[in-house]
Amino acid sequence: MTLCTFKFSSMDPVIQETLVETMNVVRSEYESQKKLSDGTLSMLSFLFDFTAAQALDLIDNRCVLHITSPSGRELYKVQKSATEFHICLKNSNYCTCPSFIFHVLKKEQFMGETFL
């Protein structure tokens, strides 16, 4: 079963499949163990460089809120500061952060800093 639902525009199919499988492993491991192994953290660091550490720091500091609407739509609210936040839409590969707009939409990279 595929758990990851990212959308890709012009990504090589082999790279796309690898990233989807990797994210499925990460999700499955976290759901079953409520933590990530050192090997999985190393894999994320290799794939996403410093962005992975920044994303995990946001999670550790409880800056990410998962919201589900009554209709079942899901999004993540990522609190950047006391007055600034970004919204990431779960099933549409979209985020309001400047990193996403610059790195993903303009350069067609996999994801921005907040989205990870």
Instruction: Report residue 47's pLDDT band, with 50, 70 and 90 as the boundaries.
Output: confident
Contact in structure between 112 and 13 (CB atoms under 8 Å): no
5 in any annotated domain: no
4 in any annotated domain: no
pLDDT for res 8: 54
pLDDT digits (tens, 9 = 90+) for 64-95: 999 999 999 999 999 988 899 999 888 777 88
**Is pLDDT of 52 > 80?**
yes
Contact in structure between 4 and 27 (CB atoms under 8 Å): yes
Mutual angle of helices 38-48 and 13-33, in 10-degree steps: 150
Instruction: Classify the phi-psi angles of 34: left when phi > 0, otherwise alpha if psi is within -120 to 50, otherwise beta.
Output: left
Residues 66 and 92 in one domain: yes
Residues 66 and 45 in one domain: no
What average pLDDT does range 99-114 have in this prediction?
60
Q: Which domain holds residue 22?
A: 11-60
How far apart are the C-alpha atoms of 71 and 55, rounded to whole Å?
28
19 in any annotated domain: yes
**Is pLDDT of 9 > 80?**
no
69 in any annotated domain: yes
The number of domains in the chain is 2
pLDDT for res 1: 38
pTM of the prediction?
Answer: 0.61
107 in any annotated domain: yes
